[in-house]
Chain A
Amino acid sequence: MSLQDALRLGSVDPDHVQILPFGLDGVLVRFAVTAEPWATQAAQAFHDYARSADLPFICERAPSLSSVLLRFDPAQITREAAAARIESLLDAHDWRKATPRAPERLWTIPVAFGGAHGPDLEAAAELAGMRPEAAIAEITGLELRVLAIGFAPGQPYLGLLPEAWNLPRMEQINPQVPKGAIALAVRQLVLFANPSPTGWRQIGRTAFAPFRPEAEPAVPLRAGDALRLSAVSGDEMTALLDRGDPAGGALCESVT
Protein backbone atom coordinates (compact mmCIF):
# COMPACT_ATOMS: atom_id res chain seq x y z
CA MET A 1 0.00 0.00 0.00
CA SER A 2 1.39 3.41 -0.92
CA LEU A 3 1.69 6.12 1.66
CA GLN A 4 -0.83 8.17 -0.28
CA ASP A 5 -3.30 5.33 0.11
CA ALA A 6 -2.32 4.84 3.71
CA LEU A 7 -3.24 8.43 4.47
CA ARG A 8 -6.45 8.11 2.48
CA LEU A 9 -9.13 9.24 4.87
CA GLY A 10 -11.58 6.76 6.18
CA SER A 11 -10.25 3.75 4.36
CA VAL A 12 -10.89 0.51 6.18
CA ASP A 13 -8.47 -2.16 5.20
CA PRO A 14 -8.49 -4.99 7.71
CA ASP A 15 -5.63 -6.80 5.94
CA HIS A 16 -3.03 -4.07 6.28
CA VAL A 17 -1.56 -1.93 8.95
CA GLN A 18 -2.94 1.53 8.36
CA ILE A 19 -1.43 4.97 8.96
CA LEU A 20 -4.39 7.28 9.45
CA PRO A 21 -4.75 10.97 10.24
CA PHE A 22 -6.03 11.57 13.78
CA GLY A 23 -7.16 15.18 14.06
CA LEU A 24 -4.86 17.80 12.59
CA ASP A 25 -1.76 16.91 14.59
CA GLY A 26 -1.97 13.16 15.02
CA VAL A 27 -1.26 9.94 13.19
CA LEU A 28 -2.94 6.70 14.21
CA VAL A 29 -1.17 3.44 13.38
CA ARG A 30 -4.01 0.92 13.34
CA PHE A 31 -3.12 -2.76 13.22
CA ALA A 32 -6.69 -4.04 13.07
CA VAL A 33 -10.22 -2.70 13.51
CA THR A 34 -11.05 -5.39 16.06
CA ALA A 35 -9.08 -6.19 19.22
CA GLU A 36 -7.53 -9.36 17.80
CA PRO A 37 -4.81 -10.71 20.05
CA TRP A 38 -2.07 -10.27 17.43
CA ALA A 39 -3.08 -6.62 16.94
CA THR A 40 -3.00 -5.97 20.69
CA GLN A 41 0.48 -7.55 20.83
CA ALA A 42 1.56 -5.53 17.78
CA ALA A 43 0.29 -2.25 19.29
CA GLN A 44 2.27 -2.93 22.49
CA ALA A 45 5.40 -3.88 20.54
CA PHE A 46 5.22 -0.96 18.12
CA HIS A 47 4.63 1.48 21.00
CA ASP A 48 7.82 0.17 22.65
CA TYR A 49 9.68 0.39 19.35
CA ALA A 50 8.51 3.96 18.66
CA ARG A 51 9.49 4.94 22.20
CA SER A 52 13.09 3.91 21.63
CA ALA A 53 13.26 5.32 18.07
CA ASP A 54 14.60 8.78 17.36
CA LEU A 55 11.41 10.77 16.71
CA PRO A 56 12.06 14.29 18.04
CA PHE A 57 8.99 15.67 16.25
CA ILE A 58 6.63 13.37 18.19
CA CYS A 59 5.19 15.10 21.26
CA GLU A 60 2.72 12.47 22.44
CA ARG A 61 2.59 8.69 22.16
CA ALA A 62 0.14 6.11 23.52
CA PRO A 63 -1.05 2.58 22.75
CA SER A 64 -4.67 1.47 22.67
CA LEU A 65 -5.97 -2.07 22.20
CA SER A 66 -5.13 -2.36 18.50
CA SER A 67 -3.50 0.94 17.55
CA VAL A 68 -0.83 3.45 18.53
CA LEU A 69 -1.38 7.21 18.55
CA LEU A 70 1.54 9.48 17.68
CA ARG A 71 1.00 13.22 17.89
CA PHE A 72 3.43 15.42 16.01
CA ASP A 73 4.34 19.07 16.34
CA PRO A 74 3.08 20.71 13.13
CA ALA A 75 5.64 23.49 13.65
CA GLN A 76 8.42 20.93 13.21
CA ILE A 77 7.12 18.53 10.58
CA THR A 78 4.34 18.05 8.07
CA ARG A 79 1.81 15.25 8.41
CA GLU A 80 3.19 13.57 5.27
CA ALA A 81 6.78 13.65 6.52
CA ALA A 82 5.74 12.33 9.94
CA ALA A 83 3.74 9.54 8.31
CA ALA A 84 6.67 8.64 6.03
CA ARG A 85 9.03 8.36 9.02
CA ILE A 86 6.47 6.22 10.88
CA GLU A 87 5.98 4.04 7.82
CA SER A 88 9.71 3.35 7.69
CA LEU A 89 9.56 2.22 11.34
CA LEU A 90 6.65 -0.06 10.49
CA ASP A 91 8.58 -1.58 7.58
CA ALA A 92 11.29 -2.80 9.95
CA HIS A 93 9.27 -5.72 11.39
CA ASP A 94 6.54 -8.20 10.70
CA TRP A 95 4.09 -6.87 13.27
CA ARG A 96 1.81 -9.90 12.98
CA LYS A 97 4.57 -11.87 14.70
CA ALA A 98 5.70 -9.16 17.10
CA THR A 99 5.71 -9.72 20.82
CA PRO A 100 5.95 -6.93 23.40
CA ARG A 101 9.27 -6.61 25.16
CA ALA A 102 9.65 -7.96 28.69
CA PRO A 103 7.99 -5.76 31.32
CA GLU A 104 10.15 -3.48 33.44
CA ARG A 105 7.84 -3.60 36.43
CA LEU A 106 5.52 -6.13 38.04
CA TRP A 107 2.58 -4.97 40.14
CA THR A 108 0.75 -7.18 42.62
CA ILE A 109 -2.66 -5.74 43.46
CA PRO A 110 -4.99 -7.15 46.15
CA VAL A 111 -8.51 -7.81 44.90
CA ALA A 112 -11.59 -9.24 46.59
CA PHE A 113 -13.54 -11.43 44.17
CA GLY A 114 -17.27 -12.17 44.27
CA GLY A 115 -19.81 -11.28 46.96
CA ALA A 116 -20.60 -7.62 47.48
CA HIS A 117 -17.23 -6.69 45.95
CA GLY A 118 -17.84 -8.67 42.75
CA PRO A 119 -21.58 -9.16 42.20
CA ASP A 120 -21.21 -10.46 38.63
CA LEU A 121 -18.47 -13.06 39.32
CA GLU A 122 -20.80 -16.06 39.27
CA ALA A 123 -22.51 -15.03 36.03
CA ALA A 124 -19.16 -14.32 34.35
CA ALA A 125 -17.69 -17.65 35.51
CA GLU A 126 -20.74 -19.53 34.25
CA LEU A 127 -20.43 -17.86 30.83
CA ALA A 128 -16.76 -18.88 30.79
CA GLY A 129 -17.80 -22.43 31.68
CA MET A 130 -16.24 -22.77 35.12
CA ARG A 131 -17.03 -22.54 38.81
CA PRO A 132 -16.31 -19.20 40.58
CA GLU A 133 -13.43 -20.75 42.59
CA ALA A 134 -11.78 -21.98 39.38
CA ALA A 135 -12.32 -18.59 37.76
CA ILE A 136 -10.56 -16.82 40.65
CA ALA A 137 -7.71 -19.34 40.51
CA GLU A 138 -7.31 -18.87 36.75
CA ILE A 139 -7.42 -15.05 36.84
CA THR A 140 -5.07 -14.69 39.83
CA GLY A 141 -2.65 -17.13 38.14
CA LEU A 142 -2.23 -14.87 35.10
CA GLU A 143 0.50 -12.34 34.52
CA LEU A 144 -1.54 -9.56 32.91
CA ARG A 145 -0.21 -6.56 31.03
CA VAL A 146 -1.41 -2.97 31.10
CA LEU A 147 -2.58 -2.78 27.47
CA ALA A 148 -3.81 0.80 27.48
CA ILE A 149 -4.69 3.59 29.87
CA GLY A 150 -7.72 5.64 29.11
CA PHE A 151 -11.41 6.38 29.02
CA ALA A 152 -10.98 7.99 32.45
CA PRO A 153 -7.69 9.26 33.93
CA GLY A 154 -5.36 6.46 34.98
CA GLN A 155 -7.84 3.72 34.16
CA PRO A 156 -6.03 0.60 32.90
CA TYR A 157 -7.22 -1.97 30.38
CA LEU A 158 -5.62 -5.28 31.41
CA GLY A 159 -5.25 -8.45 29.39
CA LEU A 160 -5.51 -10.45 27.45
CA LEU A 161 -7.37 -13.23 29.31
CA PRO A 162 -7.70 -16.72 27.77
CA GLU A 163 -10.29 -17.21 25.01
CA ALA A 164 -12.87 -18.58 27.49
CA TRP A 165 -13.17 -15.02 28.78
CA ASN A 166 -14.21 -13.53 25.45
CA LEU A 167 -17.49 -12.44 27.03
CA PRO A 168 -19.82 -9.92 25.41
CA ARG A 169 -20.84 -6.80 27.26
CA MET A 170 -24.07 -7.12 29.27
CA GLU A 171 -27.37 -6.31 27.57
CA GLN A 172 -28.37 -4.14 30.50
CA ILE A 173 -25.89 -1.47 31.52
CA ASN A 174 -25.00 -1.49 35.19
CA PRO A 175 -25.86 2.10 36.17
CA GLN A 176 -22.89 2.38 38.51
CA VAL A 177 -19.90 0.37 39.60
CA PRO A 178 -17.80 1.86 42.43
CA LYS A 179 -14.31 3.29 42.16
CA GLY A 180 -11.90 0.34 42.20
CA ALA A 181 -14.33 -2.05 40.50
CA ILE A 182 -12.62 -4.80 38.48
CA ALA A 183 -14.86 -5.50 35.50
CA LEU A 184 -14.52 -8.05 32.71
CA ALA A 185 -15.49 -8.28 29.02
CA VAL A 186 -13.89 -9.27 25.69
CA ARG A 187 -10.81 -10.95 27.28
CA GLN A 188 -9.97 -7.80 29.21
CA LEU A 189 -10.27 -6.41 32.70
CA VAL A 190 -10.80 -2.75 33.51
CA LEU A 191 -9.93 -1.27 36.89
CA PHE A 192 -12.34 1.63 37.28
CA ALA A 193 -10.74 4.88 38.42
CA ASN A 194 -14.07 6.50 39.28
CA PRO A 195 -17.67 5.41 39.88
CA SER A 196 -19.01 4.69 36.40
CA PRO A 197 -21.85 3.10 34.45
CA THR A 198 -20.65 0.08 32.48
CA GLY A 199 -21.73 -2.88 30.41
CA TRP A 200 -18.79 -4.91 31.76
CA ARG A 201 -19.30 -7.48 34.53
CA GLN A 202 -17.95 -6.51 37.96
CA ILE A 203 -16.10 -9.55 39.29
CA GLY A 204 -14.08 -7.89 42.05
CA ARG A 205 -12.87 -4.75 43.73
CA THR A 206 -9.54 -3.21 44.71
CA ALA A 207 -8.54 -0.33 46.96
CA PHE A 208 -5.73 0.58 44.52
CA ALA A 209 -6.34 4.09 43.13
CA PRO A 210 -5.07 4.35 39.52
CA PHE A 211 -5.34 8.18 39.47
CA ARG A 212 -3.75 10.35 42.20
CA PRO A 213 -3.77 13.97 41.03
CA GLU A 214 -1.78 15.25 44.02
CA ALA A 215 0.98 12.64 43.63
CA GLU A 216 3.93 12.49 41.27
CA PRO A 217 3.38 10.67 39.01
CA ALA A 218 -0.40 11.11 39.10
CA VAL A 219 -0.84 7.80 37.29
CA PRO A 220 1.31 5.03 38.80
CA LEU A 221 0.67 2.42 36.07
CA ARG A 222 2.26 2.58 32.62
CA ALA A 223 1.27 0.78 29.45
CA GLY A 224 3.42 -2.34 29.25
CA ASP A 225 3.63 -2.93 33.02
CA ALA A 226 3.02 -6.52 34.16
CA LEU A 227 0.35 -7.00 36.77
CA ARG A 228 -0.96 -9.81 38.99
CA LEU A 229 -4.16 -9.78 41.00
CA SER A 230 -3.89 -11.42 44.41
CA ALA A 231 -7.10 -12.64 46.06
CA VAL A 232 -8.00 -11.27 49.50
CA SER A 233 -11.19 -11.81 51.50
CA GLY A 234 -14.13 -9.42 51.41
CA ASP A 235 -13.39 -8.35 54.99
CA GLU A 236 -9.75 -7.67 54.18
CA MET A 237 -10.85 -5.51 51.20
CA THR A 238 -13.33 -3.61 53.34
CA ALA A 239 -10.47 -2.90 55.79
CA LEU A 240 -8.17 -1.79 52.93
CA LEU A 241 -10.91 0.50 51.56
CA ASP A 242 -11.54 1.95 55.03
CA ARG A 243 -7.83 2.69 55.44
CA GLY A 244 -8.11 5.02 52.43
CA ASP A 245 -4.47 4.53 51.33
CA PRO A 246 -4.42 4.99 47.51
CA ALA A 247 -1.80 2.21 47.22
CA GLY A 248 -4.49 -0.24 48.36
CA GLY A 249 -1.86 -2.73 49.52
CA ALA A 250 -0.31 -2.97 46.03
CA LEU A 251 3.36 -3.84 45.50
CA CYS A 252 5.52 -2.73 42.59
CA GLU A 253 8.73 -4.65 41.84
CA SER A 254 11.36 -3.84 39.27
CA VAL A 255 11.92 -6.89 37.07
CA THR A 256 14.70 -5.73 34.73
Chain B
Amino acid sequence: MRPELIIHSAGPGVSVQDLGRPGQISIGLSRGGAADRRALFEAAALLGQPAPLAALEMAGMGGSFEVTTPTRIALTGAPMEARLDGAALAWHASHLLQPGQRLTISGVRAGSYGYLSVAGGLRTEPVMGSRSTHLVAGLGAALESGMTLPLGEDPAPDRPARSLPVADRFSGGTLRYIHGPQTGYFSGETVARFDSAKLIRSATGNRQGVKLETETGPFPPELSGGLASDFIQEGDIQMTGAGLPFVLLCECQTIGGYPRIGTVLPCDLPRIAQAPPGALLRFQAVDLAEADQIMRSDAREIDALAGQTTHLIRDPRLMHDLLSYQLISGVTAGRELEEE
Protein backbone atom coordinates (compact mmCIF):
# COMPACT_ATOMS: atom_id res chain seq x y z
CA MET B 1 0.00 0.00 0.00
CA ARG B 2 1.33 3.41 -0.96
CA PRO B 3 1.50 5.83 1.99
CA GLU B 4 -1.21 8.44 1.48
CA LEU B 5 -3.21 10.94 3.46
CA ILE B 6 -6.91 10.84 2.65
CA ILE B 7 -8.67 14.14 3.23
CA HIS B 8 -12.30 13.29 4.02
CA SER B 9 -13.07 16.92 4.74
CA ALA B 10 -11.04 20.10 5.09
CA GLY B 11 -11.68 23.65 6.26
CA PRO B 12 -11.33 26.48 3.75
CA GLY B 13 -7.81 27.44 4.86
CA VAL B 14 -6.07 24.06 4.75
CA SER B 15 -2.96 24.05 2.55
CA VAL B 16 0.39 22.29 2.12
CA GLN B 17 3.27 24.34 3.58
CA ASP B 18 6.97 23.83 4.12
CA LEU B 19 9.63 26.47 4.71
CA GLY B 20 8.77 28.19 1.42
CA ARG B 21 10.90 29.70 -1.34
CA PRO B 22 13.59 31.99 0.06
CA GLY B 23 15.83 34.20 -2.03
CA GLN B 24 13.34 35.12 -4.78
CA ILE B 25 12.85 38.83 -4.18
CA SER B 26 14.56 39.61 -7.50
CA ILE B 27 11.64 37.95 -9.30
CA GLY B 28 9.00 39.44 -7.03
CA LEU B 29 8.15 36.27 -5.12
CA SER B 30 7.88 36.42 -1.32
CA ARG B 31 9.04 33.38 0.63
CA GLY B 32 5.62 32.08 1.65
CA GLY B 33 5.73 28.75 3.51
CA ALA B 34 4.32 28.12 6.97
CA ALA B 35 2.88 31.23 8.62
CA ASP B 36 4.28 29.87 11.92
CA ARG B 37 7.66 28.40 10.92
CA ARG B 38 8.43 27.45 14.50
CA ALA B 39 5.52 24.98 14.45
CA LEU B 40 7.26 23.04 11.66
CA PHE B 41 10.51 22.89 13.66
CA GLU B 42 8.53 21.65 16.68
CA ALA B 43 6.95 18.94 14.50
CA ALA B 44 10.40 17.92 13.22
CA ALA B 45 11.61 17.61 16.83
CA LEU B 46 8.60 15.49 17.81
CA LEU B 47 8.95 13.20 14.80
CA GLY B 48 12.75 12.95 14.79
CA GLN B 49 13.11 14.61 11.38
CA PRO B 50 16.52 16.21 10.76
CA ALA B 51 14.76 19.20 9.13
CA PRO B 52 11.11 20.23 8.73
CA LEU B 53 9.13 18.53 5.96
CA ALA B 54 5.97 19.68 4.18
CA ALA B 55 2.88 19.57 6.41
CA LEU B 56 -0.75 20.65 6.42
CA GLU B 57 -1.34 24.18 7.65
CA MET B 58 -4.85 24.63 9.03
CA ALA B 59 -6.11 28.23 9.30
CA GLY B 60 -8.71 28.22 12.06
CA MET B 61 -10.36 24.93 11.07
CA GLY B 62 -8.94 21.48 10.47
CA GLY B 63 -10.71 18.56 8.86
CA SER B 64 -11.09 14.80 8.88
CA PHE B 65 -8.17 12.62 7.81
CA GLU B 66 -7.06 9.01 7.38
CA VAL B 67 -3.79 7.33 6.40
CA THR B 68 -3.22 4.21 4.28
CA THR B 69 -0.14 2.93 6.17
CA PRO B 70 0.87 3.24 9.85
CA THR B 71 2.42 6.64 10.32
CA ARG B 72 3.25 8.95 13.18
CA ILE B 73 1.81 12.43 13.08
CA ALA B 74 2.63 15.59 15.00
CA LEU B 75 0.14 18.26 16.02
CA THR B 76 1.77 21.68 16.48
CA GLY B 77 1.08 25.40 16.23
CA ALA B 78 -2.28 26.81 17.33
CA PRO B 79 -3.89 24.25 19.68
CA MET B 80 -6.94 22.66 18.08
CA GLU B 81 -9.51 20.12 19.17
CA ALA B 82 -8.17 16.78 17.86
CA ARG B 83 -9.66 13.29 18.16
CA LEU B 84 -8.62 9.85 16.97
CA ASP B 85 -11.69 7.64 16.53
CA GLY B 86 -13.37 9.90 19.07
CA ALA B 87 -10.60 9.82 21.71
CA ALA B 88 -9.05 13.20 22.50
CA LEU B 89 -5.44 13.70 21.37
CA ALA B 90 -2.90 15.93 23.09
CA TRP B 91 -1.63 18.93 21.07
CA HIS B 92 2.12 19.78 20.83
CA ALA B 93 2.62 16.02 20.61
CA SER B 94 3.15 13.11 18.24
CA HIS B 95 0.80 10.14 17.89
CA LEU B 96 0.61 6.93 15.88
CA LEU B 97 -2.14 6.70 13.25
CA GLN B 98 -3.18 3.27 11.98
CA PRO B 99 -4.92 2.74 8.64
CA GLY B 100 -8.67 2.83 9.14
CA GLN B 101 -8.53 5.17 12.12
CA ARG B 102 -10.19 8.55 11.66
CA LEU B 103 -8.37 11.70 12.77
CA THR B 104 -10.66 14.69 13.20
CA ILE B 105 -9.39 18.18 13.90
CA SER B 106 -11.90 20.95 14.55
CA GLY B 107 -11.52 24.64 15.44
CA VAL B 108 -8.59 26.40 17.11
CA ARG B 109 -8.74 26.84 20.88
CA ALA B 110 -6.19 29.67 20.71
CA GLY B 111 -4.11 31.19 17.92
CA SER B 112 -4.76 31.05 14.19
CA TYR B 113 -2.69 28.36 12.42
CA GLY B 114 -2.47 24.71 13.48
CA TYR B 115 -0.24 22.13 11.76
CA LEU B 116 -0.66 18.44 11.01
CA SER B 117 2.72 16.93 10.12
CA VAL B 118 3.39 13.33 9.10
CA ALA B 119 6.64 11.54 9.88
CA GLY B 120 7.63 11.00 6.22
CA GLY B 121 6.40 14.44 5.09
CA LEU B 122 3.81 15.29 2.46
CA ARG B 123 5.20 14.40 -0.97
CA THR B 124 3.20 16.59 -3.32
CA GLU B 125 5.00 17.77 -6.45
CA PRO B 126 7.42 20.63 -5.66
CA VAL B 127 7.15 23.80 -7.77
CA MET B 128 10.14 26.17 -7.83
CA GLY B 129 11.88 24.22 -5.09
CA SER B 130 9.04 24.02 -2.57
CA ARG B 131 5.75 22.27 -1.93
CA SER B 132 4.24 25.37 -0.34
CA THR B 133 0.97 26.69 -1.63
CA HIS B 134 1.39 30.42 -2.34
CA LEU B 135 -2.11 31.56 -3.20
CA VAL B 136 -1.17 35.15 -4.06
CA ALA B 137 1.39 33.89 -6.60
CA GLY B 138 -1.01 31.26 -7.90
CA LEU B 139 1.20 28.36 -6.77
CA GLY B 140 -0.80 25.38 -5.54
CA ALA B 141 -4.36 25.56 -4.28
CA ALA B 142 -6.31 25.21 -1.07
CA LEU B 143 -7.12 21.57 -0.40
CA GLU B 144 -10.56 20.11 -0.81
CA SER B 145 -12.58 17.25 0.58
CA GLY B 146 -11.95 13.96 -1.16
CA MET B 147 -8.35 14.68 -2.14
CA THR B 148 -5.53 12.23 -1.46
CA LEU B 149 -1.97 13.42 -0.85
CA PRO B 150 1.13 11.21 -1.27
CA LEU B 151 3.28 10.75 1.87
CA GLY B 152 6.82 9.72 2.51
CA GLU B 153 7.05 6.45 4.41
CA ASP B 154 7.41 6.78 8.19
CA PRO B 155 10.98 5.53 8.83
CA ALA B 156 10.12 4.52 12.44
CA PRO B 157 6.39 4.09 13.09
CA ASP B 158 7.19 2.23 16.33
CA ARG B 159 8.96 5.21 17.85
CA PRO B 160 6.99 6.14 20.99
CA ALA B 161 4.73 9.16 21.06
CA ARG B 162 6.43 12.34 22.25
CA SER B 163 5.27 15.64 23.62
CA LEU B 164 6.91 19.06 23.76
CA PRO B 165 6.48 21.86 26.28
CA VAL B 166 5.52 24.97 24.29
CA ALA B 167 5.32 28.51 25.64
CA ASP B 168 2.20 30.47 24.68
CA ARG B 169 2.63 32.38 21.44
CA PHE B 170 -1.03 32.09 20.47
CA SER B 171 -2.65 35.05 22.20
CA GLY B 172 -0.70 38.16 21.20
CA GLY B 173 1.93 39.80 23.41
CA THR B 174 5.07 41.82 22.77
CA LEU B 175 6.70 41.92 19.34
CA ARG B 176 10.32 43.00 19.14
CA TYR B 177 11.20 45.03 16.07
CA ILE B 178 14.09 46.94 14.53
CA HIS B 179 13.95 50.32 12.91
CA GLY B 180 14.55 50.23 9.16
CA PRO B 181 15.20 52.31 6.04
CA GLN B 182 11.93 54.24 6.41
CA THR B 183 11.66 54.77 10.16
CA GLY B 184 13.06 58.27 9.59
CA TYR B 185 9.95 59.11 7.56
CA PHE B 186 8.09 59.23 10.91
CA SER B 187 8.56 61.86 13.61
CA GLY B 188 10.29 60.83 16.84
CA GLU B 189 7.05 61.58 18.66
CA THR B 190 5.09 59.20 16.41
CA VAL B 191 7.67 56.42 16.85
CA ALA B 192 7.60 56.88 20.64
CA ARG B 193 3.80 56.82 20.65
CA PHE B 194 3.84 53.64 18.54
CA ASP B 195 6.25 51.98 21.00
CA SER B 196 3.92 52.60 23.94
CA ALA B 197 0.66 51.89 22.09
CA LYS B 198 -1.69 49.05 22.86
CA LEU B 199 -2.70 47.58 19.53
CA ILE B 200 -5.40 45.08 18.76
CA ARG B 201 -5.21 42.44 16.04
CA SER B 202 -8.25 43.31 13.89
CA ALA B 203 -10.57 40.84 12.19
CA THR B 204 -8.75 41.58 8.90
CA GLY B 205 -5.81 39.30 8.32
CA ASN B 206 -4.49 36.44 6.23
CA ARG B 207 -1.15 35.00 5.08
CA GLN B 208 -0.31 38.32 3.39
CA GLY B 209 -0.56 40.33 6.57
CA VAL B 210 -2.69 41.48 9.48
CA LYS B 211 -4.29 44.83 10.14
CA LEU B 212 -4.05 46.30 13.61
CA GLU B 213 -6.36 48.71 15.40
CA THR B 214 -5.64 51.19 18.12
CA GLU B 215 -7.37 53.83 20.16
CA THR B 216 -4.17 55.89 20.42
CA GLY B 217 -3.36 56.07 16.72
CA PRO B 218 -3.08 56.86 13.91
CA PHE B 219 0.67 56.90 13.17
CA PRO B 220 1.04 58.86 9.93
CA PRO B 221 4.49 59.46 8.45
CA GLU B 222 5.80 63.02 8.15
CA LEU B 223 7.20 62.24 4.74
CA SER B 224 4.87 60.46 2.35
CA GLY B 225 4.03 62.24 -0.91
CA GLY B 226 6.15 61.27 -3.88
CA LEU B 227 8.09 58.50 -2.13
CA ALA B 228 9.40 55.84 -4.45
CA SER B 229 7.96 52.36 -4.01
CA ASP B 230 10.66 50.21 -2.46
CA PHE B 231 11.38 46.69 -1.25
CA ILE B 232 9.13 45.31 1.45
CA GLN B 233 9.41 42.05 3.37
CA GLU B 234 7.60 39.88 5.90
CA GLY B 235 7.65 41.47 9.33
CA ASP B 236 7.49 45.02 7.95
CA ILE B 237 5.08 47.27 9.84
CA GLN B 238 3.57 49.50 7.17
CA MET B 239 1.32 52.46 7.82
CA THR B 240 -1.54 52.79 5.37
CA GLY B 241 -2.64 56.21 4.12
CA ALA B 242 -4.78 56.61 7.25
CA GLY B 243 -1.76 55.84 9.48
CA LEU B 244 -3.03 52.45 10.61
CA PRO B 245 -0.46 49.69 11.10
CA PHE B 246 -0.48 46.59 8.95
CA VAL B 247 2.12 43.87 9.64
CA LEU B 248 3.18 41.97 6.54
CA LEU B 249 3.41 38.19 6.68
CA CYS B 250 4.89 35.42 4.55
CA GLU B 251 2.80 35.91 1.36
CA CYS B 252 3.29 39.69 1.18
CA GLN B 253 4.08 41.69 -1.93
CA THR B 254 7.80 42.41 -2.51
CA ILE B 255 7.63 46.11 -3.45
CA GLY B 256 5.33 48.53 -1.69
CA GLY B 257 4.56 52.22 -1.52
CA TYR B 258 3.34 52.72 2.06
CA PRO B 259 6.01 53.79 4.56
CA ARG B 260 7.24 51.24 7.11
CA ILE B 261 8.03 52.16 10.69
CA GLY B 262 10.17 49.04 11.20
CA THR B 263 10.48 45.26 10.87
CA VAL B 264 9.41 42.62 13.41
CA LEU B 265 12.20 40.15 14.24
CA PRO B 266 11.80 36.85 12.33
CA CYS B 267 11.64 34.91 15.61
CA ASP B 268 8.60 36.96 16.72
CA LEU B 269 6.68 36.50 13.45
CA PRO B 270 4.93 33.33 14.71
CA ARG B 271 3.46 35.43 17.53
CA ILE B 272 1.96 38.01 15.17
CA ALA B 273 0.82 35.38 12.64
CA GLN B 274 -0.86 33.39 15.43
CA ALA B 275 -2.46 36.37 17.22
CA PRO B 276 -6.22 35.83 16.92
CA PRO B 277 -8.62 38.71 16.22
CA GLY B 278 -8.93 40.82 19.38
CA ALA B 279 -5.49 39.86 20.75
CA LEU B 280 -3.53 42.65 22.42
CA LEU B 281 -0.13 43.44 20.86
CA ARG B 282 2.70 45.78 21.78
CA PHE B 283 5.81 46.68 19.85
CA GLN B 284 9.22 46.99 21.46
CA ALA B 285 12.08 48.50 19.49
CA VAL B 286 15.45 46.74 19.88
CA ASP B 287 18.73 47.91 18.38
CA LEU B 288 20.54 45.90 15.73
CA ALA B 289 23.14 44.39 18.06
CA GLU B 290 20.43 43.22 20.44
CA ALA B 291 18.36 41.87 17.52
CA ASP B 292 21.36 39.86 16.24
CA GLN B 293 21.84 38.46 19.73
CA ILE B 294 18.14 37.52 20.04
CA MET B 295 18.24 35.75 16.67
CA ARG B 296 21.35 33.77 17.66
CA SER B 297 19.70 32.59 20.85
CA ASP B 298 16.52 31.73 18.92
CA ALA B 299 18.57 29.59 16.53
CA ARG B 300 20.05 27.74 19.52
CA GLU B 301 16.55 27.25 20.95
CA ILE B 302 15.32 25.74 17.66
CA ASP B 303 18.35 23.41 17.59
CA ALA B 304 17.58 22.31 21.14
CA LEU B 305 13.89 21.47 20.55
CA ALA B 306 14.51 17.76 19.92
CA GLY B 307 16.19 17.43 23.31
CA GLN B 308 13.16 18.91 25.04
CA THR B 309 10.64 16.35 23.88
CA THR B 310 9.45 13.85 26.48
CA HIS B 311 7.42 10.65 26.45
CA LEU B 312 3.79 11.50 25.98
CA ILE B 313 1.87 10.64 29.14
CA ARG B 314 -1.80 10.09 28.43
CA ASP B 315 -4.04 12.20 30.64
CA PRO B 316 -6.66 9.94 32.24
CA ARG B 317 -9.14 12.82 32.06
CA LEU B 318 -8.89 12.68 28.28
CA MET B 319 -9.34 8.90 28.09
CA HIS B 320 -12.98 8.28 27.23
CA ASP B 321 -12.35 4.55 27.46
CA LEU B 322 -10.75 4.65 30.91
CA LEU B 323 -13.18 2.12 32.35
CA SER B 324 -12.19 -0.45 29.78
CA TYR B 325 -8.67 -0.54 31.22
CA GLN B 326 -7.99 -3.14 33.88
CA LEU B 327 -6.44 -0.74 36.35
CA ILE B 328 -6.45 -2.55 39.68
CA SER B 329 -6.22 -6.21 38.90
CA GLY B 330 -3.16 -7.86 40.37
CA VAL B 331 0.27 -6.33 40.56
CA THR B 332 1.20 -3.83 37.91
CA ALA B 333 4.34 -1.99 36.97
CA GLY B 334 2.37 1.24 37.01
CA ARG B 335 2.93 2.10 33.34
CA GLU B 336 -0.49 1.40 31.93
CA LEU B 337 -1.20 5.06 31.41
CA GLU B 338 1.80 5.53 29.21
CA GLU B 339 1.11 5.22 25.56
CA GLU B 340 3.79 2.93 24.23
Contacts and interface: CB of A to CB of B under 8 A. Distances in A.
Interface of A: 7, 9-12, 18, 20-24, 26, 28, 30, 32-35, 39, 59-62, 64-67, 69, 71, 74, 79, 148-155, 157, 193-194, 211, 213-214, 218-219, 223
B182 interface: yes
A9 B227 contact: no
B233 interface: yes
Given A59-B23, A153-B29, A154-B28, A22 B228 contact: no
Contacts, number: 137
Nearest to A14: B223
A20 B226 contact: no
B25 A150 contact: yes
A9 B265 contact: no
A63 to B, nearest CB: 8
A64 B230 contact: yes
Nearest to A32: B228
A74 B289 CA distance: 13
B228 A66 contact: yes
Interface in B214-258: 223, 226-231, 233, 235, 253-256
Given A35-B228, A153-B137, A22 B27 contact: no
Q: Is the interface of A mostly helix, strand, loop or mixed?
A: loop
A154 B29 CA distance: 8
Nearest to A68: B231
B180 A67 contact: no
A147 to B, nearest CB: 10
Contacts of A39: 228
Given A64-B231, A67-B181, A151-B253, 20 more contacts: A9-B180, A9-B288, A22-B180, A22-B231, A22-B233, A24-B265, A28-B181, A28-B230, A32-B228, A33-B185, A33-B227, A34-B227, A79-B292, A151-B254, A151-B256, A152-B137, A211-B27, A211-B138, A213-B138, A219-B27
A21 B263 CA distance: 11
A211 B179 CA distance: 33
Contact of A24 (B138, B231, B255, B295): B295
B70 to A, nearest CB: 35
Interface range for B = 35 or more
26 contacts: A9-B184, A10-B184, A20-B181, A22-B233, A26-B233, A28-B181, A35-B228, A59-B23, A61-B26, A66-B228, A66-B230, A67-B231, A69-B25, A79-B288, A148-B255, A149-B28, A150-B25, A150-B255, A151-B28, A152-B28, A152-B136, A154-B28, A155-B28, A213-B128, A213-B137, A213-B138
Contacts of B203: none
A22 B183 CA distance: 11
Nearest to B139: A213
A219 B28 contact: yes
A153 B28 CA distance: 4
Nearest to A199: B257
A213 B27 CA distance: 11
Which has the most chain B C-beta neighbours within 10 Å: A9, A154, A193? A9
A64 B26 CA distance: 9
Contact of B180 (A21, A213, A218): A21
B291 interface: yes
B137 A20 contact: no
Nearest to B24: A153
Nearest to B266: A24
A28 B288 contact: no
Contacts of B161: none
Contacts of B181: 10, 18, 20-22, 28, 30, 67
A193 B137 CA distance: 9
Nearest to B225: A34
Closest 10 pairs between A and B when the two form their complex, measured CB to CB: A10-B183, A150-B255, A62-B26, A12-B184, A35-B228, A10-B184, A9-B179, A150-B28, A20-B181, A219-B27
B302 interface: no
Contact of B229 (A11, A26, A32, A65): A65
Nearest to B252: A151
A34 B230 CA distance: 10
Contact of A62 (B25, B184, B253, B265): B25
Contacts of B183: 9-10
